[in-house]
């Protein structure tokens, strides 16, 4: 029997009960993440990328809740763990990097305090060892004079440097998985590439798998092994990065790729997808993309498509079934 994947999400549903009814933010998504793999999760704002990440690490803000499906870490269910058990898992086995490094560090504690506290919470080491480990980590993420900077406060660092500290914090207890939620969005363009490369390098060195949430296709192309394209709380297409980028199958992914300017290519007009993503309270029946899709059929308006194999990747589109049938 093969080893269970590091992270396995099956039919995950996340709901937000509101006064005007239940909003389904994540509607039955499934994906696997192997050890050491980098999975990119892309989509527009509101597609449910971040909520997927927070659901995996068990930090959904009430009233949000997991309403169905399961999340397994190395085969063990973690979506129904008690709060204290989940707390022990956070930081220790699943780390998280947040979007804005300017606000994700506590301004009143030195970065040394924050790293050492995290290490001591999860690992059975002495305070001295924790301190040495913190220095080593800071050096690893490229902070000069790490020993001294341990006593510095977050406001004494630049944005890029702070994000390095945040990465060190996420990795300080050697987690098996890091969820990076838009780790470069809040940074200067010039620093973005550095941070992404750093995250990639450090995770590869530690054998840490990464769930990289972003809306930047360029970052995904450069970093990820596989990519999941999300739309309206569902996965539209998932597969190896090369396949998805070179030969996208889902009309939404095709539209997304057409909207990326290229420097080398012929100067074609960039395509744009008409309309905008539906609000959570007005997701159409059938395929959520059907009002914006140029290839829409009757079936798309009534029946929700499941993921269908398309080459090495899978996409949720009825058209694929037709081409398959036509070919077969």
Partner 1 sequence: MLAFTIRRLVQAILVMLVVALISFTLFRFVGDPVNQMVGVETTPEQREALRERLGLNDPMLTQFGRFIINAAQFDFGTSYQFRQPVAELIGRRLPATLELSIVSAIFALFVGIPMGVYTGLHRDSILSKLFLSISLIGISLPTFFIGILLIFLFSVTLQWLPSFGRGDVVQLGWWSTGLLTWGGIKALILPAITLGLFQMTLIMRLVRSEMLEVIRTDYIKFARARGLRQRSVNFRHALKNTLVPVITITGLQLGSIIAFAIITETVFQWPGMGLLFLQSVQNVDIPIMAAYLMLIAFLFVTINLIVDLLYFQVDPRLRAERATH
Q: Does 318 bind partner 1 (CB under 8 A)?
A: no
Report whether 200 contacts 40 (CB < 8 A): no
Report whether 5 contacts 70 (CB < 8 A): no
Q: Does 327 bind partner 1 (CB under 8 A)?
A: no
| Of the residues 72, 90, 215, 242, which one makes contact with partner 1 according to CB under 8 A | 90
- In whole angstroms, the minimum distance from the beta carbon of 319 to partner 1 comes to 39
Of 237, 211, 256, the C-alpha closest to 311 is 237
Q: Does 170 bind partner 1 (CB under 8 A)?
A: yes
Q: Does 124 bind partner 1 (CB under 8 A)?
A: no
CB closer to partner 1 out of 105 and 236: 105
Q: Does 189 bind partner 1 (CB under 8 A)?
A: no
Q: What are the residues whose beta carbons fall under 8 Å from the beta carbon of 119, sequence distance 6 or more?
A: 125, 130, 133, 134, 172, 173
Q: Does 166 bind partner 1 (CB under 8 A)?
A: yes
Q: Which stretch binds partner 1 (CB under 8 A): 85-93, 190-198, 295-303, 315-323?
A: 85-93
Strand order in the sheet with 209-213: 94-97, 177-181, 209-213, 38-42, 226-231, 234-240, 313-315, 308-310
Report whether 235 contacts 228 (CB < 8 A): yes
Q: Does 85 bind partner 1 (CB under 8 A)?
A: no
d(CA 79, CA 67): 10
Binding mask 42-81 for partner 1 (x = CB under 8 A): ---------------x-x----------------------
Q: What are the residues whose beta carbons fall under 8 Å from the beta carbon of 69, sequence distance 6 or more?
A: 9, 10, 11, 12, 13, 28, 29, 30, 79
Q: Does 200 bind partner 1 (CB under 8 A)?
A: no
Give me the residues that bind partner 1 (CB under 8 A), please. 57, 59, 87-92, 95-96, 98-100, 103-110, 117-118, 121-122, 148-149, 152-153, 155-156, 166, 169-170, 173
């Amino acid at each position: 029997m093969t080893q269970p994947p590091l992270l396995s999400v099956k039919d995950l549903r996340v709901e937000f009960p509101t006064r005007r009814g239940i909003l389904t933010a994540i509607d039955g998504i499934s994906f696997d993440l192997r050890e050491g793999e980098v999975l990119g999760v892309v989509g527009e704002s509101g597609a449910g990328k971040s909520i997927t990440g927070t659901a995996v690490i068990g930090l959904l803000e009430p009233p949000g809740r997991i309403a169905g499906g399961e999340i397994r870490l190395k085969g063990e269910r973690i979506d129904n763990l008690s709060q204290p058990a989940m707390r022990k898992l956070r930081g220790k086995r699943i780390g998280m990097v947040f979007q804005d490094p300017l606000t994700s560090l506590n301004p009143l504690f030195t970065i040394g305090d924050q790293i050492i506290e995290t290490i001591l919470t999860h690992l059975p080491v002495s305070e001295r060892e924790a301190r040495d480990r913190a220095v080593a980590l800071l050096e690893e993420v490229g902070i000069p004079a790490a020993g001294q900077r341990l006593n510095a406060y977050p406001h004494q660092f630049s944005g890029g440097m702070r994000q390095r500290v945040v990465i060190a914090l996420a990795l300080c207890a050697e987690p098996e998985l890091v969820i990076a939620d838009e780790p470069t969005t809040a940074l200067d363009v010039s620093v973005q590439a550095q941070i992404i490369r750093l995250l990639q390098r450090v995770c590869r060195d530690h054998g840490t798998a990464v769930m990289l949430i972003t809306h930047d296709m360029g970052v995904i192309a450069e970093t990820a092994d596989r990519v999941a394209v999300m739309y309206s709380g569902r996965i539209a297409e998932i597969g190896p990065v090369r396949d998805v980028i070179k030969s996208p199958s889902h009309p939404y992914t095709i539209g997304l790729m057409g909207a990326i300017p290229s420097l080398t290519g012929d100067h074609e007009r960039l395509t744009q997808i008409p309309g905008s993503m539906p609000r959570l309270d007005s997701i159409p029946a059938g395929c959520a993309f059907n009002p914006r899709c140029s290839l829409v059929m009757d079936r798309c308006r009534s029946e929700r498509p499941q993921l269908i194999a398309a080459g090495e990747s899978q996409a949720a589109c009825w058209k694929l079934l037709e081409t398959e049938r036509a070919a077969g």
